[in-house]
Amino acid sequence: MNSKRIILITGGQRSGKSSYAMKLALSLSDNPVYLATSAIWDEEHRQRIERHKKDRGPEWTNIEELKDLQKVDVSNRVVVIDCVTLWSTNFFNETNGDVQLSLMAIIERFEAFIKQDATFIFVTNELGLGGISTNDLQRRFTDLLGWVNQHIASRSEEVVLMVSGIALKVK
């Protein structure tokens, strides 16, 4: 592989985003990379992560990186980044909810990461489809993720919206 390709898979919770991304990656490579961005919040979450690792199977290279994706070498690989929402959460928490500071750090790392020749499949949540939260912190995070998603979508060759397990091509 000697070219870069960026694909964004977005949708609501449990819409089938990760399953679609993983099937796509396996259709493009016999040994894709799964780049997990989630911190472990509690014991239930840790068990969920372990289950997901086992479900992926031996063909996957599993890498965990909470923030500095640009440090992960995925040259000439197909990589699923799961997910942008949790990746953004890590910055948002570290900056105590500073949207601008988080957005700048995320975009800077995203741009450095995608300089590699690879097929990038980013998974994210479309939080802005619901009502406006009465919680200030939630509103700010929804704004942050919306801007991050817009940036990634603008750099993507393909954008897919997942609705109830059905992939709708947006771009």
Neighbouring-strand partners of residue 7: 121, 158
Q: Which is the catalytic residue, given 5, 52, 53, 155? A: 52
Q: Is 52 a catalytic residue?
A: yes
According to CATH, the topology of domain 5-169 is Rossmann fold (3.40.50)
* 83-100 residue pLDDT tens: 999 999 999 999 999 999
Instruction: Report the side by side order of strands in the sheet with 33-36.
Output: 61-64, 33-36, 78-82, 119-123, 5-11, 158-163, 166-169
Task: Express each pLDDT in 107-164 by its tens digit.
Answer: 999 999 999 999 999 999 998 787 787 888 899 999 999 999 999 999 999 999 999 9
Six-digit token pair at 73? 């070498």
Q: Domain segments of the chain: what residues?
A: 5-169
Q: How far is 48 from 93, CA to CA, in rounded Å?
A: 21
